[in-house]
Amino acid sequence: MPHIDEHALEDIAEGAVILGSGGGGDPYIGMLMARQAIREHGAVELVTLEDLDGEDLVLCCAMMGAPTVMVEKVPGGDEVVHAVRAVERYLGRRAAATMSGEIGGLNSMMPIYAAARLRLPLVDCDGTGRAFPQVHMSLYTLHGISATPFALTDARGNTVMLETVDKQTTEILARTLTIAMGGVAQVAADAATVSELREATVPRTVTQARRIGAAIRAARNQDAQPVETVRRAAEGFLVFEGRVEDVERSTGGGFSTGHADLDGIDGHKGRHMRLDFQNEFLAARIDGDYVVTVPDLITLLDRDSGQPITAEGVRFGYRVAVVGIPVTPKWRTSAGLGLAGPRCFGYDVDYVPVEERFG
């Protein structure tokens, strides 16, 4: 079986920023936590669903809250372990593996950290194929897998267990509790058997993140065309190149929301782009017209290095390239768009796949 060691961890973290669509939280802090856990407990075994028994229990581990808060409020390390143990006690059985509820950003790291601490394998898949700002925006929802029992823990040692009627209610209650816990909480949830997960997950996304991260590292070290190298690795499309002229953001309700305005450079000179975000980049408009929207991924790259830039990390003066990446087809169904399409975020526009505009 392949394993995740310290070297692989760095590439996965880099690639997860791309798959986070600008959100999911900066994985750097989570990477440091996972690195320390791997040093203390050994490399994490990476498995597929096919490697496990159909009745084995898998738990998702994650951070919940505004990514900007976690930058200043670093977890102590035991929170996610306590959350896993709380769900296991509730269900009366042990987890056979951990996995990412979403592969994007920080939440690619927390299940690796938990796996190392708990001496469990990590499953090479996730429940979204990207990052989304709300709990119910998951392929689990489309396949009837409950988010609960849903355990939240904080740095003070508090643990709260939710049992709700649906994922939308889980989102409302968990978000309220996260705010009360200081704006960030560690989570164990989405308990499911391997058999249930086979249709409700995107396979091999950990491997995908690692491959993209390796391309970013190569581009940063030696490539004369870093943006193009990363774009190819992510199988995306160049949407815009520009300079950040203004950023407005606020943190409230458990989200980091706002927009970034870009003035075009080179081939896009004289044009303007606005990027909207709610933890993740949700929509890109050029001269007022929507060109990429959720559920497709919108990624911001440093134009000189190819380094991905998160929504909380974008700053005035940055010279950037905007890349649109096609989402897994599982989100492009009528049910998927009804759960996480542009209208779910208040955009009165029909979804158009990014490759139809830029392919």
Task: Look up the CATH number of the domain holding residue 49.
Answer: 3.40.1610.10
Residue 254 above 70 pLDDT? no
Give the residue among 351, 300, 346 at the shortest CA–CA distance from 324: 300
**Domain-located, residue 209:** no
Q: Would you place residue 34 in the very low, low, confident or very high pLDDT band (cuts 50, 70, 90)?
A: very high
Domain boundary among 148, 171, 203: 203
Residue 328 above 70 pLDDT? yes
174 shares a domain with 36: yes
Domain count, the chain: 2
134 shares a domain with 23: yes
302 shares a domain with 185: no
191 shares a domain with 232: no
**Domain-located, residue 213:** no
Q: Are 131 and 256 in contact (CB under 8 A)?
A: no
236 shares a domain with 126: no
59 shares a domain with 153: yes
- Residues of the chain by 3-state class (helix, strand, coil), percent to 5: 40, 30, 35
- Expressed as residue numbers, the domain containing 251 is 225-358
**Domain-located, residue 246:** yes
Phi, psi of 250 (to 5 degrees): -145, 155
Task: Look up the CATH number of the domain holding residue 295.
Answer: 2.40.390.10
Q: Are 12 and 108 in contact (CB under 8 A)?
A: yes
248 shares a domain with 115: no
Q: Would you place residue 221 in the very low, low, confident or very high pLDDT band (cuts 50, 70, 90)?
A: confident
The per-residue pLDDT for range 72-92, each reduced to its tens digit, is 666 667 899 999 999 999 999
Domain boundary among 137, 172, 203: 203
Q: Would you place residue 66 in the very low, low, confident or very high pLDDT band (cuts 50, 70, 90)?
A: low
Give the residue among 330, 92, 95, 87 at the shortest CA–CA distance from 194: 95
**Domain-located, residue 191:** yes
**Domain-located, residue 259:** yes
Domain boundary among 203, 234, 266: 203
The count of C-alpha atoms lying within 13 angstroms of the C-alpha of 142, restricted to the half-sphere facing its C-beta, is: 22
pTM value? Answer: 0.92
